Structure 1
Amino acid sequence: MKSLNIKIGLITSLMVLFTACETIDYEDTNVNPNGPTAGISSQLLTNAMISMTTILVDETPILYMQHITQGQYPGASRYNTLNESYDSWYTGPLMDLNRVIDLNSDPETAEDVIAYGNNANQIAVARIVRAYFVHYMTDKWGALPWSEAFMGIDNPQPVFDTQESIYNFLFTELDEAVAMVEMGEPGPTGDYLYGGDMDTWITFAANMKMVMALRLSDVSPGLAQSMFEEAVATGRLITDNSDNIEYTYGTDDASDSPWMDNFRTREDYILSRTMVEYLRDNQDPRLFEYAEEARDSVSPVTNFPGDIDLGYVGAPNGQVNGNVPSYSFIRSEIIYTPDYPTPIFTAAQVYFSLAEAASYGWNVGGGTAASLYEDGIEASMEYWGVDATGITDYIAAHPYTGIDEIAYEKWVALYLNGPEAWAEWRRLDAPYLEPSAFASDPRIPVRMAYDPSIADNNEANYNAMVGFQGPDNNYTKLWWDVN
């Protein structure tokens, strides 16, 4: 009887508990009372902008361009990086920027996120930064999923858009982003680079448009000229180093320069023999600004008065250069100063672009190919601290004679700007860069192949892309690379 009473009591208790559960509201049980109740667009923008460093210090194309080479582990210098995945761009910064745009476009959320800056200005900056990322991606891989991207389970196998269509989209995207800027209204608070200065972002967009336009000079000269002249007409192209657009890092481990991170535990990047010898042969004073003297060796040849270049030694590209102190390192301020800035768009880059455009007869707003070429050299050398006498002497010894001079000087001026130097080298086919003798395939790559998972997971669209773009390897030229 006692046992029966216990069982009855237990059943009764469970019935009461079950009945009570029906009246309890658990809706907020898993809600953090201290968490945000709406999307924080400023954090999304900040998180996306951090990925700009992946482009600005992209070592692989810098190695391809033989500005530097590697020490004991020369994988990329031997072109061993065959495939890369673009997935993290779609799931990371591009997704964040799409969310910023959505939050500021939807009337139901726009009122909440206006606390982080004017809605239109937030959208404009997000679109410009997104265009910057997509431009980098298409110049690296070529065709990309775009018009059908970000559809989730509704379309997990998107088609590949041609590079031509992506460029057309990007031109429109930049124009529309600039047009929607509301000057005098607050810029996005998540913009830790330029403090929400919309004037700077308009300049950013104009210079990016100029770069993109010139990229098409061979494959679509009419569009290239039109877009280039539109960029010139904005009056926003950078023609003074004081206006250079740069990425400035922080001083803590979380925000410092990737170059400092590269050299924190291992000294693996050294000056390429190609760069050192080109500068030495031309008695280019930038040699002494780009590099440090080798600690354990001297050069077997010199070419400067007084043998002042004796200590500058470049390493063979792709060789196992185990004793790295025998070679010149990158300028110490770059690799050991945590907040040393990385250029994005510079006066030198603009002047060389204007010089090339002038040689085609395009409207560049004044100046000749020769004068703009000289302006480019001067801007580059001034940026790196070369004195006036050194600049004058170099220009006198290296007059403009044609596009090859522009291509060479642009390659020198784009020192450590891997993606842009690689793109311009592919387009202009100059200067001559001898492929590494230590590579299994002695050809410098002209694109990055897709990750193998793309062919496995999106086979039909991948095959269609190969049909219009060409074999998915490192040596199929991109749409604009027709020479």
Structure 2
Amino acid sequence: MKSLNIKIGLIASIMVLFTACETIDYEDTNVNPNGPTAAVTSQLLTNAMSFMAEYIMVDETTILYMQHITQGQYPGASRYNTLNESYDDWYVGPLTDFNRIIDLNSDPETADDALSYGSNANQIAVAKILRAYYLHYMTDKWGALPLSEAFQGIDNPQPAFDTQESVYNYMFAEIEEAVGMVEMAEPGPTGDYLFGGDMDTWVTFGTHVKMIMALRISDVAPGLAQTKFEETVATGRLITDNSDNIEYTYGTDDESDSPWDDNFKTREDYILSRTMVEYLRENQDPRLFEYAEEARDSVSPVTNFPGGIDAGYVGAPNGQVNGNVPSYSFIRSEIIYTPDFPTPIFTAAQVDFSLAEAAGKGWNVGGGSAAQWYEAGVQASMEYWGVDATGITDYIAAHPYTGIDDIAYEKWVALYLNGPEAWAEWRRLDAPYLEPSAFASDPRIPVRMAYDPSIADNNAANYNAMIGFQGPDNNHTKLWWDVN
């Protein structure tokens, strides 16, 4: 009987406690008093911007494709071993961040709170400009992308692919809408560590994305390309002087320093490609001495500069196991050992060569011939890298403009270490000649990146439909704009 009473008492106690739990008001016991009560758009923007440094500013795979550099004892991408990549991080990371910034600044219920981080219109404009910039990088890498049906979560976990042409049309509209809504007199977004909320610079940034996109499609949609390109010229915002270059500036701590500094902290995996060194040597291009360091343990058996001053500059065969890396030239020491050495995003040289090509097509570039813009591009590139006036004059005199191949070559040289742009322009212009690595199992330089295999597994119907209009999902199916 005593045992039974104990059991009845325990049951009654539990019932009382359970009932009490239903009526007790815990109020804010589990609420973090220091946590934000609304989404912080400045943090979303900062996080989204970090992808620029991590993925675009120093994209080693595409730099290796373009033979500006090659690898030491562990060749991989220089042998074209990187067959596919996933774009998932872009969708769940920065693109989602941009969408959230736009939503929070557009929704009347959250727009007032978002004003704490800059004007609603300016936050939306920057998010749209950067979203277009990221999409441009992505589509020029993979081609077709899920876009019009993307970001619907469980409502549509298997979105269709939009053609690259559709993605380009979307990006043009996105940039134009964003630039048109900028409020110059209102605060720019906080969290903008790139330009400090300077909306004038953001408009210039967006204008240059549009210019590059326009020229990129000039062989497949010449009418649209001309219209969009001439619109950027008419803004008067195109960079034609190095003092106006747009650069990505890093910090000095481990969290924000240059990826090149990180690459060379404990290893020496990247050395100058023989292709780059020998092209510069053959043309007696003084940028050789600005792009690279002299090899520590060897000299070149061939020299071409007066007095053999180029003997110390040695390039390595692309894709070979180059185990003794001190036998080859390294990237300029300031680039790889200075944590906050900036990376160019848009430069006068790149713009000048674009204007040279456009002038050669008969487009309105506001004055100047193809030859004049070509020479301006060479001069801007050399000045940026510290070549003296005499060296510039002598080089231009020895390498006059004769046609599009000259522009293609000089653009490839000027885009040194800008892998995504150099790769895209090389694919579009089919110049200069780059001999594929003799050590690759498939001796063809890739012209696109294949999708991650999970796409075919998890979104088979739309994946197969994409193959139907784009072509086989491999590294050698040309993109929509790559028609030459």
User: What interval of TM-score do these two structures reach, taking the shorter chain for normalisation?
Assistant: over 0.9
Match of 1:363 in 2: 364
Match of 1:16 in 2: 16
**Aligned ranges for residues 175-190 of structure 1 at < 5 Å?**
175-190=176-191
Q: For residue 184 of structure 1, report the CA deviation from its aligned partner.
A: 1.1
Counterpart check, 1:214 vs 2:201: no
Match of 1:118 in 2: 119
Q: Secondary structure at the match of 1:455?
A: helix
Amino acid at match of 1:172: A
Q: For residue 30 of structure 1, report the CA deviation from its aligned partner.
A: 3.7
Match of 1:151 in 2: 152
Q: For residue 294 of structure 1, report the CA deviation from its aligned partner.
A: 0.1
Q: For residue 24 of structure 1, report the CA deviation from its aligned partner.
A: 1.4
Larger CA deviation: 25-34 vs 342-351: 25-34
Q: Secondary structure at the match of 1:51?
A: helix
Counterpart check, 1:323 vs 2:324: yes
What is the root-mean-square deviation in Å for CA atoms of aligned residues?
Answer: 1.0
Match of 1:264 in 2: 265
Q: Distance in 1 between matches of 2:266 and 2:11?
A: 66
Q: Distance in 2 between matches of 1:313 and 1:278?
A: 12
Q: Distance in 2 between matches of 1:13 and 1:351?
A: 83
Match of 1:419 in 2: 420
Q: For residue 13 of structure 1, report the CA deviation from its aligned partner.
A: 2.5
Q: Distance in 2 between matches of 1:166 and 1:323?
A: 45
Q: Distance in 2 between matches of 1:314 and 1:370?
A: 31
Number of aligned residue pairs: 483
Q: Distance in 1 between matches of 2:435 and 2:11?
A: 85
Match of 2:458 in 1: 457
Deviations 1:51-85 (A, max 9, x none): 00111100001000000000001110000100101
Q: For residue 32 of structure 1, report the CA deviation from its aligned partner.
A: 1.9
Counterpart check, 1:205 vs 2:214: no
Amino acid at match of 2:23: T
Q: Distance in 1 between matches of 2:26 and 2:433?
A: 69
Counterpart check, 1:51 vs 2:61: no
Q: For residue 20 of structure 1, report the CA deviation from its aligned partner.
A: 1.5
Q: For residue 31 of structure 1, report the CA deviation from its aligned partner.
A: 2.7
Q: Distance in 1 between matches of 2:7 and 2:172?
A: 77
Counterpart check, 1:95 vs 2:89: no
Larger CA deviation: 468-477 vs 30-39: 30-39
Match of 1:373 in 2: 374
Match of 1:77 in 2: 78
Q: For residue 28 of structure 1, report the CA deviation from its aligned partner.
A: 4.1
Match of 2:42 in 1: 42
Q: Distance in 1 between matches of 2:303 and 2:11?
A: 97
Q: Secondary structure at the match of 2:126?
A: helix
Q: For residue 298 of structure 1, report the CA deviation from its aligned partner.
A: 0.2
Match of 2:313 in 1: 312
Q: Distance in 2 between matches of 1:4 and 1:138?
A: 74
TM-score (norm 1): 0.99
Q: For residue 264 of structure 1, report the CA deviation from its aligned partner.
A: 1.0
Q: Distance in 2 between matches of 1:233 and 1:256?
A: 37
Q: Distance in 2 between matches of 1:6 and 1:466?
A: 73
Q: Secondary structure at the match of 1:344?
A: strand
Q: Secondary structure at the match of 2:271?
A: strand
Match of 1:224 in 2: 225
Match of 2:432 in 1: 431
Amino acid at match of 1:168: N
Q: For residue 14 of structure 1, report the CA deviation from its aligned partner.
A: 2.4
Match of 2:172 in 1: 171
TM-score (norm 2): 0.99
Deviations 1:353-402 (A, max 9, x none): 00000000000011100000000000000000000000000000000000
Q: Distance in 1 between matches of 2:26 and 2:471?
A: 56
Match of 2:397 in 1: 396
Q: Secondary structure at the match of 2:190?
A: coil
Q: For residue 26 of structure 1, report the CA deviation from its aligned partner.
A: 4.4
Larger CA deviation: 147-156 vs 23-32: 23-32
Amino acid at match of 1:50: S
Q: Distance in 2 between matches of 1:366 and 1:33?
A: 61
Match of 1:468 in 2: 469
Q: For residue 8 of structure 1, report the CA deviation from its aligned partner.
A: 4.1
Q: Distance in 2 between matches of 1:27 and 1:475?
A: 61
Match of 2:234 in 1: 233
Counterpart check, 1:140 vs 2:141: yes
Structure 1 unaligned regions, length at least 5 = none
Q: Secondary structure at the match of 1:445?
A: coil
Q: Distance in 1 between matches of 2:50 and 2:11?
A: 59
Counterpart check, 1:131 vs 2:141: no
Amino acid at match of 1:357: A
Deviations 1:206-235 (A, max 9, x none): 111110000011001000000000010111
Q: Distance in 2 between matches of 1:131 and 1:26?
A: 46
Q: For residue 265 of structure 1, report the CA deviation from its aligned partner.
A: 1.4
Match of 1:351 in 2: 352
Q: For residue 16 of structure 1, report the CA deviation from its aligned partner.
A: 2.4
**Aligned ranges for residues 235-254 of structure 1 at < 5 Å?**
235-254=236-255
Amino acid at match of 2:19: T
Q: For residue 4 of structure 1, report the CA deviation from its aligned partner.
A: 4.5
Q: Secondary structure at the match of 1:264?
A: coil
Q: For residue 34 of structure 1, report the CA deviation from its aligned partner.
A: 1.6
Deviations 1:236-264 (A, max 9, x none): 11011111011000000000000011111
Q: Secondary structure at the match of 1:191?
A: coil
**Aligned ranges for residues 324-343 of structure 1 at < 5 Å?**
324-343=325-344
Match of 2:478 in 1: 477
Amino acid at match of 1:182: E
Q: Secondary structure at the match of 1:50?
A: helix
Q: Secondary structure at the match of 2:145?
A: coil
Q: Secondary structure at the match of 1:98?
A: helix
Q: Distance in 2 between matches of 1:130 and 1:461?
A: 23
Q: Distance in 1 between matches of 2:454 and 2:21?
A: 48
Amino acid at match of 2:83: L
Q: For residue 21 of structure 1, report the CA deviation from its aligned partner.
A: 1.4
Q: Distance in 1 between matches of 2:5 and 2:354?
A: 93
Q: Distance in 2 between matches of 1:148 and 1:29?
A: 41
